[in-house]
Amino acid sequence: MVSLLDIIGPVMVGPSSSHTAGACRLGLLARGLVGGTPQTALLELHGSFARTGEGHGTDKALVAGLLGFRPDDERIRTALEIADGEGLEYHFEKTTIGEESHPNTVRMTVARGPRRSVMIGSSIGAGRVLVTEIDGYPVDITGNFYSIVILAEDIKGSIARVTRILSDRDINIATLKLTRKQRGGDAFIVIECDDNPGEDVRDEIRALAWVRWAMRLDKVSGG
């Protein structure tokens, strides 16, 4: 749902809401998938991101997001230099992800310690973003909510167990989506929450025997 504050906002460092602010938000979401600043990042730019990204500071903004900077942080201007100091090794490539992909799309392969994740996301206008794929699973994450992302064995009652943890902590669920590549394969669960689930919630979910990994993504858009 479009919010007034998506339209009158974000407050951001210029020059382009889709190429700078949206790119920064996609970087923030990818950062969340590995739980902090990645050590390595391969950033594959598609469409307009590839063609005009450099002049718009898309490279700086994506890296700034990976470093945890928000779109209004003036350090975006020097993010590439800061990344060198923070031990983030980044690499940019131009690619074609798919004919049907939004013109401003990036595939980010990020790694931190043993965690590695591949995220495809688009900047869809006015700084709004949409993550469409994580580790090969189709998703639609807007960043308008705090999210919990879980990869788990596809066992009966898994959703009930996870939602119980959230309700015990008084966290309201906005959306919930489960996908899997095939029957009996792993289940990929995305839960968007109205309230901010803390790291303790994530850790409790991680402690479930059948959960392979669980990550918490920040709310990066909206008021």
Partner 1 sequence: MYKALAEAISDAEARGVTLSEVALDLESRDQGRSIDEIRGSLRRALDVMRGAVEAGMTGAMRSHSGLVGGDAAKLVHSKAGPLAATPFHDILIRALAVQEVNSAMGVIVAAPTAGGAGVLPAVLTGLAKARGIPDEHVIDALAAAGLIGAVIAERASLSGAEGGCQAETGAAAGMAAGAATEMLGGTPRQAGHATALAMQSTLGLICDPIGGLVELPCVFRNATGSAIALAAIEMALAGIEFAIPVDEVIDVMGQIGREMDVRYKETAGGGLAATPTGRHLAKERLYQLKRA
Summarize as ranges the residues that interact with partner 1 (CB under 8 A). 1-21, 47-48, 51-52, 54-57, 72, 74, 76-77, 102-104, 124-128, 194, 222-223
Residue among 37 and 52 whose Cβ is closer to partner 1: 52
CB 83 to partner 1: min, Å: 17
Query: Residue 26 in contact with residue 108, Cβ under 8 Å?
Result: yes
CB 57 to partner 1: min, Å: 6
Cβ contacts of 87 within 8 Å, gap of 6 or more: 37, 39
Cα–Cα distances (Å) from 92 to 28, 81, 109, 125, in that order, read: 17, 15, 11, 22
CB 193 to partner 1: min, Å: 12
**Burial 91-105, CB ≥16 within 10 A → b, else e:** ebeeeebeeebbebb
Nearest-5° Cα angle at 33, 31 to 35: 65
Query: Residue 93 in contact with residue 81, Cβ under 8 Å?
Result: no
CB 147 to partner 1: min, Å: 17
Residue among 82 and 111 whose Cβ is closer to partner 1: 82
CB 54 to partner 1: min, Å: 7
Place of tokens 């709004």: 128
Cβ contacts of 164 within 8 Å, gap of 6 or more: none
Residue among 147 and 158 whose Cβ is closer to partner 1: 147
Residue among 35 and 222 whose Cβ is closer to partner 1: 222
CB 3 to partner 1: min, Å: 6
**What's the token pair of residue 130?**
């949409």
Query: Residue 19 in contact with residue 58, Cβ under 8 Å?
Result: yes
Query: Residue 106 in contact with residue 62, Cβ under 8 Å?
Result: yes
Residue among 5 and 155 whose Cβ is closer to partner 1: 5
Residue among 12 and 214 whose Cβ is closer to partner 1: 12
